[in-house]
């Protein structure tokens, strides 16, 4: 009771599985952020469910304690423990981290520190657990490679379980576990990799679930003790994305495109509502509106939700997939869109295949259905962006206000505009592009803010320039950056994704101590340059990404691949789902 939100640490949630069963291996699933964020992550829920359904495995959880709890643990010389049985992390067979965000890297060390686990894999003998990691940040695992025994590349539903059974077979012999695991698709063992000029050349093939419709899904997920970020039941419709936006890592990382069937999803929805008691159910995918048969699915899920007095929540939608039919199934609070860029020219550069006409039409439909708040997401610093493109964001906002007045006769529309800074991400066509420096980021943010202040009822939020620069450094970083992460943590950096705790002065001190030239990581790359992640076979080829990069610089668009394959290479990982015809 001495800490904020004690329920973050109590465990005992509704639907907790039997963690006292006889077992051969104990696994602690960790998330380097607080309870409310971790419990909102679908990947954590999926893996927790899969591992606990195995008769030989018990899986528990541990999330980053807030600063008040960490201070008490240190004061009383208590180790970091699991939520379910309060077992110290050091006593598990495997400790696995989900890496969702580059700025959580110091939080991994924060949790190691609280658990009494040495940071570097080379400093941990067989008495320590096997420390593994997975998640979207492992597109480029090199900045954190020195901290983990194993890093999973791709989707973990199948490979996590395979590793557990290898660990059971070779229990007590970490070297044998690493050697056997390294033969699996999706497993990267940094200690066994071959480096040439500081770059790993040992090939690793991404793991991908071939049949998503048959893949496990948690139908009795844990019901959190307190309100969480996404406090609802969630249905994952499909993986991958047809759009091909050139800045979007997830679009290419989660290909090939695989569906869950409509009947499967309806059954899942029924079970989730029965087993959780949530008052809201949401549909989740990178571009939900692109699900084939989305209108029929929404109608059916809406009917089920209504019969259970539950709201149906729709995620942000691509403007070109927006339709009046979708609005019939949604709760009328706010509608969210991501135009990403302020002008048609720049939307063509980034391959955001929407037009001003799409924006106007979608806004009219939303306002006709009673929406009074609009959220719009944009990026600043995109390749080839000019001041005219930045000012185009304000022009879109003003046009949306005019449309609202034309439709409703009312002037009191609330528009929430949010801008993130462009970060060149691995496995995207823009992985070669420059990231603008901090002064230029600030100049563009200030210029846009000044313009938006001229209009009423527009709220503007933006992402920190300093944090964005660090994200860019780690996104395309190499193994040398592990020293920077360690130095930053020792200088007091953790919970860097939280604005109230982020301290750029501490980061600057660590950068100076390590002699890191940040511009070396954020500069434009030559097209024949080797990347730290080139050893990974993602399916999507570097040749295809380079072709898209060049087309982007020319302002040439590529059609979405839902009707016609564009030859990205992802089908080497499994068949991509194509549209079979008109939406029902």
3-state secondary structure 240-282: CCCCCCCCCHHHHHCCCCEECCHHHHHHHHHHHHHHHCCCEEE
Residue 150 three-state SS? strand
pTM over 0.85: yes
Question: pLDDT tens, 249-262?
Answer: 999 999 999 999 99
The upper half-sphere exposure of residue 56, i.e. CA atoms within 13 Å in the direction of its Cβ, equals: 12
Q: What is the pLDDT of residue 321?
A: 54
- Identify which of 52, 64, 460, 45 has the alpha carbon closest to the alpha carbon of residue 268: 45
- Identify which of 116, 198, 182, 114 has the alpha carbon closest to the alpha carbon of residue 149: 182
Question: pLDDT tens, 101-155?
Answer: 999 999 999 999 999 999 999 999 999 999 999 999 999 999 999 999 999 999 9
Looking at the predicted structure, is the pLDDT value of residue 580 above 50? yes
Looking at the predicted structure, is the pLDDT value of residue 406 above 70? yes
pLDDT level of residue 334 (50, 70, 90 thresholds): confident
Cα–Cα distance for residue pair 260/236, rounded to 1 Å: 8
Question: pLDDT tens, 297-333?
Answer: 998 999 999 999 999 987 665 555 555 555 555 555 6
Looking at the predicted structure, is the pLDDT value of residue 578 above 50? yes
Contact between 200 and 11 (Cβ < 8 Å): no
Q: What is the pLDDT of residue 318?
A: 57
One CATH from 3.80.30.20, 3.30.365.10, 3.40.980.10, 1.10.1200.10 for 232-480+516-573: 3.80.30.20
Rounded mean pLDDT, 27-50: 97
Q: What is the pLDDT of residue 325?
A: 56
Q: What is the pLDDT of residue 349?
A: 98
Q: Counting beta carbons within 10 angstroms of the beta carbon of residue 456, is it exposed (0 to 12), middle (13 to 18) or buried (19 or more)?
A: exposed
b/e map 357-382, b = 16+ CB within 10 Å:
ebbbbbbebbbeeebbbbbbebbbbb
Domain ranges (residues) in the chain:
6-205, 232-480+516-573
What does pLDDT average to over the chain?
A: 94
pLDDT level of residue 370 (50, 70, 90 thresholds): confident
Looking at the predicted structure, is the pLDDT value of residue 583 above 50? no
Q: Which DSSP state fits 332? A: S
With residue 152 as reference, give the H or E element that holds it.
strand 150-152
One CATH from 3.20.20.70, 3.30.43.10, 3.40.50.300, 3.40.50.280 for 6-205: 3.40.50.280
Q: What is the pLDDT of residue 188?
A: 98
Contact between 105 and 484 (Cβ < 8 Å): no
Better-scored residue on pLDDT, 501 or 365: 501
Question: pLDDT tens, 464-501?
Answer: 999 999 999 999 999 999 999 999 999 999 999 999 99
Instruction: Tell me phi and psi for residue 35, to 5 degrees.
Output: -50, -50
Q: What is the pLDDT of residue 111?
A: 98
Looking at the predicted structure, is the pLDDT value of residue 581 above 60? no
Q: Which DSSP state fits 194? A: P
Question: pLDDT tens, 491-531?
Answer: 999 999 999 999 999 999 999 999 999 999 999 999 999 99
């Amino acid at each position: 009771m001495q800490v904020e939100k004690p329920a973050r640490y109590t465990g005992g949630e509704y639907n907790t599985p039997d963690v006292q069963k006889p077992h051969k291996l104990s696994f602690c699933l960790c998330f380097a952020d607080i309870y409310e964020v971790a419990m909102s992550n679908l990947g954590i829920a999926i893996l927790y469910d899969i591992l606990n359904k195995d008769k030989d495995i018990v899986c528990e959880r541990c999330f980053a304690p807030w600063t008040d709890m960490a201070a008490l643990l240190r004061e009383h010389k208590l180790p970091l423990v699991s939520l379910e049985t309060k077992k110290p992390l050091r006593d598990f067979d495997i400790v696995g981290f989900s890496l969702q965000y580059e700025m959580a890297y110091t939080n991994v060390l924060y949790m190691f520190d609280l658990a009494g686990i040495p940071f570097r894999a080379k400093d941990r003998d067989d008495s320590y657990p096997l420390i593994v990691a997975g998640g979207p940040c492992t597109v480029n695992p090199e900045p954190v490679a020195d901290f983990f025994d194993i890093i999973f590349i791709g989707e973990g539903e199948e490979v996590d379980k395979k590793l557990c059974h290898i660990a059971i077979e070779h229990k007590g012999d970490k070297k044998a576990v690493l050697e056997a695991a390294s033969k699996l698709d999706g497993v990267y063992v940094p200690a066994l990799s071959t480096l040439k000029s500081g770059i790993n050349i040992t090939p690793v093939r991404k793991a991908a679930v071939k049949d998503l419709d048959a893949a496990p899904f948690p139908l009795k997920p844990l019901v959190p003790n307190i309100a969480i970020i996404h406090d609802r039941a969630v249905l994952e419709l499909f993986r991958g994305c047809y759009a091909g936006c050139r800045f979007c890592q997830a679009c290419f990382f989660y290909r090939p495109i695989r569906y869950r069937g409509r009947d499967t999803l309806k059954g899942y929805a029924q079970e989730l509502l029965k087993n959780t008691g949530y008052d809201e159910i949401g549909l989740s995918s990178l571009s939900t509106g692109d699900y084939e048969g989305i209108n029929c699915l929404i109608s059916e899920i809406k009917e089920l939700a209504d019969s259970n007095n539950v709201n149906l929540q729709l995620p942000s939608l691509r403007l070109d997939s927006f339709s009046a039919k979708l609005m019939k199934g949604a709760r009328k609070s706010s509608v969210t869109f991501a135009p990403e860029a302020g002008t048609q020219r720049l939307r063509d550069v980034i391959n955001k295949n929407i037009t001003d006409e799409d924006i106007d039409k979608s806004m009219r439909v939303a306002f006709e259905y009673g929406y009074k708040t609009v959220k719009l997401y944009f990026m600043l610093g995109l390749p080839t962006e000019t001041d005219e493109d930045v000012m185009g964001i304000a022009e879109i906002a003003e046009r949306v206000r005019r449309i609202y007045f034309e439709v409703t006769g009312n002037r009191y529309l609330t528009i929430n505009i949010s801008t993130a800074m462009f970060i060149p991400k691995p496995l995207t066509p823009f992985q070669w592009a420059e990231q603008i420096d901090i002064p230029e980021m600030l100049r563009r943010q200030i210029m846009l803010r000044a313009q938006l202040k001229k209009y009423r009822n527009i709220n503007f939020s933006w992402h920190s320039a300093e944090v964005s620069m660090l994200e860019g450094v780690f996104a395309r970083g190499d193994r040398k950056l592990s020293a920077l992460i360690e130095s930053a943590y020792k200088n007091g950096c953790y919970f860097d994704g939280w604005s109230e705790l982020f301290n750029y002065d501490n980061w600057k001190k660590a950068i100076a101590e390590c002699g890191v030239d940040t511009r070396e990581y954020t500069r434009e790359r030559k097209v024949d340059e080797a990347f730290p992640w080139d050893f990974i076979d993602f399916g999507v080829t570097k040749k295809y990404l380079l072709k898209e990069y060049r087309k982007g610089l020319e302002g040439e668009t590529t059609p979405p691949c839902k009707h016609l394959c564009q030859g990205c290479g992802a089908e080497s990982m499994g068949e991509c789902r194509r549209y079979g015809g008109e939406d029902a």
